[in-house]
Structure 1
Amino acid sequence: MGNDKTNMIVAIALSLAVLLGWNYFIAAPRVEQQRQAALQDKAASSTVDGVPSPSPKEGGPANPVPGTLPNTQGAVEPREAVIARAPRVTIDTPALAGSIALKGGRIDDVSLKNYHETVDDKSPRIVLLSPTGTANPYYAEFGWVGQNTGPLPNGDTVWTADGTTLASGKPVTLTYDNGAGLLFKRVIAVDDKFMFTVRDEVENKGTKAVNLYPYGLVSRWGKPHTQGYYVLHEGMIGVLGADGLQEYTYDHLAKEPALGNVSTKGKSWTGVTGGFVGITDKYWAAATIPDQSAAYTGSFTERTDGATKVYQANVLGGVQTVEPGATASATQQLFAGAKEVNTINNYQKDLGIKQFDLMIDWGWFHFITKPMFRALDFFFHLFGNFGVAILVVTLCLKTLFLPIANKSYKSMAKMKAVQPEMASIRERYGDDKVKQQQAMMELYKKEKINPVAGCWPVLIQIPVFFALYKVLFITIEMRHAPFFGWIQDLAAPDPTNILNLFGLLPFAAPDLFHLGVWPIIMGITMFVQMKMNPAPPDPVQAQIFTFMPIVFTFMLGSFPAGLVIYWAWNNTLSVIQQYVIMRRNGVKVELWDNLSGMFKKKPAGKNAVAKS
């Protein structure tokens, strides 16, 4: 009875792992959409605190949300044609290529030199930012807003540059005179990674004081394709002072109340100090970062521009009064690049950006996912291969949990040693389950056996499995990271498929039945591990254990190859560990008998059950 209970608990745990894994990684996006819809309905029916008044006070900004005035996209042209049409300052750093438009002064042309669309280094570079007039405008803009100031720089302003190339350690200065007494200067610098520094200055050459508000924004035209996984946030992201991390999907913004004007919806936070606002994809992001010591208003907005939805992350600084003959300035930063873990962390540390590390979606279980990544990253730098790092980290985890696993396997070994006595108890008490259970408990107490100890290795493995999946899924370091042989991307599924004999047959197998080499290896290791134990006497349990490796094999067929490699390696180590412990405890290893028994005709009747 005790062994039955243990087997049943393990079977339930494995079944739960399947169900949880499938729902968490595959089916949950639909659940998340429903949850977001409920949140949106709730938000739409509530009022928003701290939203700037649509009717600003005298001297205040004409529009409390910068950059949301109508600006029709017009005809769409090829990206190269749009970039070539207007004068620009070239961006050329070790990590970035692109340009800054002198018309508008926007940072609107950025591609990533070290990242490509596929594993082939000759494939096109990742394009992050693009100007208006292209199919998918996505840009950063900085400047001033106010009233009674004369013309202020906007998207149509033509600036004058003092250089032709922006490079690391080589800033450029843009200049614009509004002809009404205000001289604007914009000094743009960039480091060797992904951080721009933008210093806006205004000199008042007129006879009256003016009130100006510095702003920065990231604007994206059109809703991009999103993967829609619950474990990944894509859309608006920011850390807004004491309000902490704020994440809004593109669909979420559509249900927010009007903000600033009737065509703009969104969410605003006032009196914020520290943090950032931006737009994030799975691996890339663009975010504007205000002065970390000055108060500002941060907002996420959506507006309709013709048939196009425009999504923005905005920062609006406090008023600066510029007296005649005086100068005002505001410094902001722009992150535009890949969400590399070490780069993000260094920016947080060196620039003092509040919780900038949350730009990477570590999730609720960050206390597991972050250390998991750190361990993988350490061994990657040691061995130069993330696949090898996964193998080494798995070995380290097995060593760390060795006392628990040993205790579990020893208890399982004792269970096997008393199988004859357990069978005798079943025969002695027949259908009297109460007496049978009492006798079993006495036997456990006498032999010092914990009947549920066998569940611990499975339960320990589940959070590790989830953490590794999260790391493989969200961190750009895993993107296009090769292992050996045919695995050139640990973050993607095994590209081989048994249906076309792993590429030998000249046709592409359907993704629905994708089953590669590594998932099959994983299934075999799981099958062997289960066959280390005697077959459960209950036919239902036996069927569950028989089909469990098959279910896992097909389920993990579409999972990242790195995760499948981990599972296969972990199973292999568990088999070795269990074999050694069983032999040390003088318990027969059932593996060979179970394997050979699969090909023999099983005897019928009551004795067959007893012998099993």
Structure 2
Amino acid sequence: MDDKRNLFTAIGLSLLVLIGWQYFVTPRFITKPAPIEAQDGKTVEGKTVAAPEGTPPVPATPGAPAAPAAVVPGAAPQLARGEALKASPRVAIRNGHLAGSIALKGARIDDLTLTSYRETPDPASPNIVLFSPSHTEGAFYADFGLLPGANGAAGDTPGADTLWQANGAELTPATPLTLTWTNPQGVEFKREIGIDDNYMFSVTDTVTNRGPQALTVFPYAAVVRQGTPQVSGYYVLHEGLVGYIGNVGLEEWTYAKLDKEGVKSYAGSGGFVGITDKYWAAAVIPDQSKSYDARFVATTTGAKAYQADLREGELDVAPGASATTSSRLFAGAKVVQLVDNYQQQLGIKSFDLIIDWGWFYFITKPLFKVIDYFYKLLGNFGLAILLVTVLLKTLFFPLANKSYASMAKMKAVQPQLKELQERNKDDKAKLQQEMMALYKREKINPVAGCWPMLIQIPVFFALYKVIFTTIEMRQAPFYGWIHDLSAPDPTSVFNLFGLIPLTLPHFLVLGAWPLIMGVTMFVQMKMNPEPPDPAQKMMFTWMPLIFTFMLSSFPAGLVIYWSWNNTLSVLQQGFIMKKHGVKIELWDNLRKLIAGKSSPSTA
């Protein structure tokens, strides 16, 4: 009876993992959009399609101007990327991780390539293109500016067609850039742009009023993406608009959800707003001490566009006076240590949440920190995962020891339980009382065997999040044929692991590591006596095979973890069973399986 209860509990937990995985992790749409091609015809990861026509956005605060719309009616036709880059004079951007340019027409940062990352593990594959100019395929850019107040007109402040003057030909960490423009009334606008050695830009606007009239301006910053992005399609991963806004907290909007809402407006201080892909992001960051209005905007008229923007309070600039405002732009790879450093050193509130750590943040991020620590010691993330698995096993050993000890005692009292069941087969109440008395006398917890599985579930999901989400795991190799721990095992038994030149459909890609995992799970189950009930026996027989096929689509790093965890569990269970004098049934069960014999009913 208790064996059945433990069995059904285990089955229920397994089904919970399977159903939860299918709902929260597996992509909702099996067929993904075709990949976008860059100007040179090569695939560009994470890019978007179709530059749209849009409508002006709604102001965030009544009576105050809103940030400019992502696009306007009558927008120019879509251009090739190279052609669009030539449409404006440009100043080059270059540091150790970024290459690109700033358009002097409009002063937009709209051309960025991540020089440290490539599309595939092949060193000859193209670099990741993050930003592209407006009206190109995959248009994605950052825009900063000053909106005129009630006492000004549109031409009083620089706009999208303003041609700025630059003091240099290249923006580098050692050579910041200064852009200037003077309006017809004699008001000078100066923009100082700096860049660090990684992915953070600083933008400082100074308005000097040499005209006869006072001028009121509203500083704004925006990240704009034209077209509907190609996303991974996983519930476990957020891709879309994201921000941490003052007391509002974390706000995440997928493109589909924002399409239905149109505009989401907020007010707060501190934090950031932006647009995130799986591994890359662009976010505008206000002065953390100032209040601002923030919005997420979806333009759905015609083709689509998405915009995350913020607008600070008014700056009043009297004749002969100056006013200054500062903000920042993050545009690049979501490297965990780098993001944490920006949060701490620049005081950006909750900036680490630009990485989607998920519901198990309190487990996921510390788990990554431990894995990353051992990676720096060992030089391989796969080895780091194996070592962390050993540490987790050691950490939970006292609980697992009690659990396996209780299971061992349960096996030792099986003859007494069978005797009680036979003696009280017509009196269920008395049977239950005598069984509980037996458990109490022998100090047995009949449900203790489920604890190892319960403990493993949150760790399993947290580890999946680490492997699937963090850029550090992207294209991280292990040994042999595993060149990317964040991707499924690329081999398949159905083409003899690549010996037969045959491209297989997705459901037939059953790699070597999922098979290894299935074998370790099979061995773990054969450690125990085979259940006498035929239904239970069939369930135990098929479960390793089911999990083998299920894990074939999981990241290789997770399958390696599960295989190693099963191996350690077998060793741990064998040690505890031997310690308590309980027979290990592994070899007997294997001999019976090979001989084609079923176990006796008294097993």
Q: So what's the TM-score if we normalise by structure 2?
A: 0.92
Equivalent in the alignment of 2:105 = 103
Query: Does 1:247 pair with 2:288?
Result: no
Q: Select 1:162's aligned residue among 157, 167, 184.
A: 167
Q: Given that residues 70 and 224 in structure 2 are in contact (C-alpha distance below 8 angstroms), is that contact kept between their aligned partners in structure 1?
A: no
Structure 1: 5+ residue stretches without partners: 31-48, 257-264
Equivalent in the alignment of 2:263 = 266
Q: 1:538 to 1:118 in 2, by over 3 A?
A: same
Q: Given that residues 274 and 283 in structure 2 are in contact (C-alpha distance below 8 angstroms), is that contact kept between their aligned partners in structure 1?
A: yes
CA offsets, 1:399-456, max 9 Å, x none?
0000011111111111222222233333334455444433332322222211111111
- Letter in structure 1 aligned against 2:201: F
Alignment of 1:417-456 (within 5 A): 417-430=412-425, 432-456=427-451
- Letter in structure 2 aligned against 1:181: G
Q: Given that residues 213 and 316 in structure 1 are in contact (C-alpha distance below 8 angstroms), is that contact kept between their aligned partners in structure 2?
A: yes
Q: Given that residues 8 and 541 in structure 1 are in contact (C-alpha distance below 8 angstroms), is that contact kept between their aligned partners in structure 2?
A: no
Q: Select 1:401's aligned residue among 396, 403, 410.
A: 396
Alignment of 1:287-302 (within 5 A): 287-302=283-298
Equivalent in the alignment of 2:9 = 9
Q: 1:494 to 1:73 in 2, by over 3 A?
A: farther
Q: CA deviation at 1:519?
A: 0.4
Identify which of structures 1 and 2 has the higher relative contact order when contacts are C-alpha pairs closer than 8 Å and 6+ apart: 1
Q: 1:503 to 1:241 in 2, by over 3 A?
A: same
Q: CA deviation at 1:52?
A: 2.1
Q: Given that residues 300 and 313 in structure 1 are in contact (C-alpha distance below 8 angstroms), is that contact kept between their aligned partners in structure 2?
A: yes
Query: Does 1:177 pair with 2:182?
Result: yes
Alignment of 1:200-239 (within 5 A): 200-239=205-244
Q: CA deviation at 1:79?
A: 1.2
Q: 1:308 to 1:2 in 2, by over 3 A?
A: closer
Q: CA deviation at 1:590?
A: 0.2
Aligned partners of 2:346, 2:67: CA distance in 1, in Å? 26
Q: Select 1:116's aligned residue among 99, 105, 118.
A: 118
Equivalent in the alignment of 2:55 = none
Aligned partners of 1:29, 1:322: CA distance in 2, in Å? 53
- Letter in structure 2 aligned against 1:536: P
Alignment of 1:9-158 (within 5 A): 9-26=9-26, 51-53=60-62, 56=63, 60-61=64-65, 64-68=66-70, 70=72, 72-147=74-149, 148-149=152-153, 150-158=155-163
Aligned partners of 1:293, 1:240: CA distance in 2, in Å? 12
Aligned partners of 2:129, 2:85: CA distance in 1, in Å? 13
Aligned partners of 1:121, 1:84: CA distance in 2, in Å? 28
Task: Give the stretch that moved more between structures: 422-431 or 283-292.
Answer: 422-431
Aligned partners of 1:211, 1:290: CA distance in 2, in Å? 19
Aligned partners of 2:511, 2:539: CA distance in 1, in Å? 23
Q: CA deviation at 1:50?
A: 9.4
Q: Given that residues 4 and 538 in structure 1 are in contact (C-alpha distance below 8 angstroms), is that contact kept between their aligned partners in structure 2?
A: no
Aligned partners of 1:468, 1:449: CA distance in 2, in Å? 32
Equivalent in the alignment of 1:285 = 281
Aligned partners of 2:98, 2:349: CA distance in 1, in Å? 25
Q: CA deviation at 1:157?
A: 1.1
CA offsets, 1:1-42, max 9 Å, x none?
333333332333233333333333226789xxxxxxxxxxxx
Aligned partners of 1:573, 1:328: CA distance in 2, in Å? 65
Q: 1:8 to 1:302 in 2, by over 3 A?
A: closer
Aligned partners of 2:229, 2:133: CA distance in 1, in Å? 15
Q: Given that residues 7 and 536 in structure 1 are in contact (C-alpha distance below 8 angstroms), is that contact kept between their aligned partners in structure 2?
A: no
- Letter in structure 1 aligned against 2:293: T
Q: 1:135 to 1:68 in 2, by over 3 A?
A: closer
Q: Select 2:375's aligned residue among 368, 376, 380.
A: 380
Alignment of 1:205-604 (within 5 A): 205-256=210-261, 265-270=262-267, 272-304=268-300, 307-430=302-425, 432-602=427-597
Aligned partners of 2:356, 2:474: CA distance in 1, in Å? 15
Q: So what's the TM-score if we normalise by structure 1?
A: 0.90
Q: 1:72 to 1:468 in 2, by over 3 A?
A: farther
Aligned partners of 1:203, 1:539: CA distance in 2, in Å? 86
CA offsets, 1:498-553, max 9 Å, x none?
11111010111111222100000000000000000111122222211111111111
Q: CA deviation at 1:356?
A: 0.6
Aligned partners of 1:289, 1:14: CA distance in 2, in Å? 43
Q: Given that residues 73 and 132 in structure 1 are in contact (C-alpha distance below 8 angstroms), is that contact kept between their aligned partners in structure 2?
A: no
CA offsets, 1:111-153, max 9 Å, x none?
1011111111221111110001311211101111114244421
Aligned partners of 1:399, 1:475: CA distance in 2, in Å? 26
Q: 1:138 to 1:601 in 2, by over 3 A?
A: closer
Structure 2: 5+ residue stretches without partners: 31-57
Aligned partners of 1:355, 1:5: CA distance in 2, in Å? 45
Q: CA deviation at 1:69?
A: 6.3
Q: 1:206 to 1:498 in 2, by over 3 A?
A: same
Aligned partners of 1:575, 1:386: CA distance in 2, in Å? 24
> Could you say what the CA RMSD is over the residues aligned between the two structures, in angstroms?
2.0
Q: Given that residues 425 and 439 in structure 1 are in contact (C-alpha distance below 8 angstroms), is that contact kept between their aligned partners in structure 2?
A: yes
Count of equivalent residues: 574
Q: CA deviation at 1:71?
A: 5.7
